[in-house]
């Protein structure tokens, strides 16, 4: 007599005295996940385990993280561009005083990273 699992899609493999179901995950779209997606995955895994495991078991985690990564990259680029314009960090400053330009750009990038972390990653 076949089980419901065997009738629908599956089969079993015997391991010692146990019958274990042959489970496979569906082929999920393997999107590239960048640094923002990896940070968000780490945050979900440690702080929102139920959501993390629901996405993982429904094979939606990779696509979800790719979307978060894309939104975070866009926000980061827009924030850096906006702060550069506000603080008038130009190519002229780069040519005249490169160390000051590097300091200002590092400061802007660090602030933009904090903004993205707050608004996208750790929410």
Please state, in angstroms and rounded to a whole number, the distance separating the CA atoms of residues 79 and 84. 8
For the purposes of burial, counting CB atoms within 10 Å of the CB of 29, is it exposed (0-12), middle (13-18) or buried (19 or more)? exposed
> How many folded domains does the chain comprise?
1
pLDDT in tens, 53-101: 999 988 899 999 999 999 999 999 999 999 999 999 999 999 999 999 9
pLDDT at position 123 is 77
Nearest to 75 by CA among 40, 99, 104, 43: 40
Top pLDDT among 30 and 101 is at 101
Domain range enclosing 56 = 4-121
pLDDT at position 14 is 84
pLDDT in tens, 2-24: 776 666 667 778 899 887 877 76
Task: Kindly report the pTM of this predicted structure.
Answer: 0.75
Asked if 108 contacts 87 with a C-beta cutoff of 8 angstroms, the reply is: yes
């Amino acid at each position: 007599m076949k089980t419901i699992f065997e009738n629908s899609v599956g089969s079993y493999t015997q391991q010692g005295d146990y019958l274990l179901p042959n489970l496979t995950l569906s082929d999920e779209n393997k999107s590239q996940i960048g640094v923002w997606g990896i940070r968000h995955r780490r945050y979900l895994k440690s702080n929102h385990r139920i959501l993390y495991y629901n996405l993982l078991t429904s094979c939606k985690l990779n696509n979800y993280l790719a979307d978060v990564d894309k939104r975070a990259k866009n926000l980061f680029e827009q924030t850096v561009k906006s702060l550069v314009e506000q603080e008038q960090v130009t190519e002229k400053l780069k040519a005249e005083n490169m160390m000051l330009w590097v300091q200002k750009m590092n400061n802007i990038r660090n602030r933009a990273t904090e903004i993205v972390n707050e608004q996208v990653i750790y929410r």
